[in-house]
A and B are shown apart, each in its own frame.
Chain A
């Protein structure tokens, strides 16, 4: 099933930042959201995740649901890496945490309390939660590569590619290019809401098509 966003307008702090956002993600496809700081990447992701109501427009989500990876990882410091993941596995209805631990290379850290992790390791733990979602889910990733080294970015790219290959979808807000096959780029600047009116000049041209 396709995830579709139609004519969506969203606000941050009561001020419209985006309007007329329209795009669709089909299974096996990923879209990278681009735009300068403050353009509304996080706002759009929160809106699609259902955390804040849209001013206008509609969002149709796949039956498998969404998994949201925000800036904050939702990691409990006093629980171990494995305990953190086991909790989210139970919440999201996943079978086990073995695959997620392997994909994000957390095996050697599994029994460590999360408070002893470095920022990058913590981020990897946060992203491992994505792998606990349903296979066809839409991943909403908010700057997933922050504080990750090159090797870890590679792990994320492989995880996203595997998710897409299994029929999943992804929406990635990022400033860094992720080398994932079949990624399209959506520049949010084209959907900026005009000050005061709350109406933007969104055009279909904002779709730049596949990167590669």
Chain B
């Protein structure tokens, strides 16, 4: 399991691994929005939570299709399925590696982008916390979507259509935490919902994803 985690991480950091891709995309979204919306500081501050969360969602989506498709192409997935490792564990570990390479990385750079979008200082901490709590759900839900589309050629587009609607609850509560935090309101309710969605997704979806992969390998 540990070997699989380390291998997936090192693959994502090496050439063509897609680690920089998600980060650069997140950065671009945050830079492009002020250019498009205009430099009205008040408007930017108001939309910052939503823009940052949508940006995190999309850049997470960018590297999802590689999670199983590459392993499927070179036969690794077949060999992992016949190895002593349980498929549920394989899915969970791969989702975790995906989270470290995307979700965690996005979380760490988000304060910089928060400043760029003029997010209120009070919201900065909540932005980091909400991303930290919410992005694991993005990776696990994404793993489920990637498992469903793993047998398909050019499954990337379908994956987006499949996964983005499932991201809605995380997006709503994640952005709500930042919005309330920035306005100095009470954040406990959306924060608890966000954590609950993540906990539920992490607990249940590896089983669903493993079943989908087994069906797709036939």
Contact = CB atoms under 8 A, between A and B. Distances in A.
Question: Which of A75, A91, A93 has the most B CB atoms < 10 Å from its CB?
Answer: A91
B93 to A, nearest CB: 11
A126 B78 CA distance: 13
Given A51-B218, A91-B4, A68 B79 contact: yes
Interface in B100-123: none
A159 to B, nearest CB: 18
A94 to B, nearest CB: 11
13 contacts: A49-B78, A49-B82, A51-B78, A72-B75, A73-B74, A74-B74, A75-B74, A78-B16, A79-B7, A79-B11, A88-B79, A91-B4, A140-B82
Interface size class of B (residues with CB under 8 A): 20 to 34
A70 B83 contact: no
Main secondary structure of the interface of B (DSSP, over half): helix
B153 interface: no
B75 A93 contact: no
A117 to B, nearest CB: 13
Nearest to A46: B78
Contacts of A87: 3-4, 7
B84 A74 contact: no
A50 B86 CA distance: 13
Interface residues of A, number: 30
B80 interface: yes
A140 B84 CA distance: 15
A72 B3 contact: no
Interface in A21-77: 46, 49-53, 65-68, 70-77
A38 B182 CA distance: 65
Given A73-B74, A74-B75, A90-B3, A50 B80 contact: no
A124 interface: no
Contacts of A79: 7, 10-11
A91 B84 contact: yes
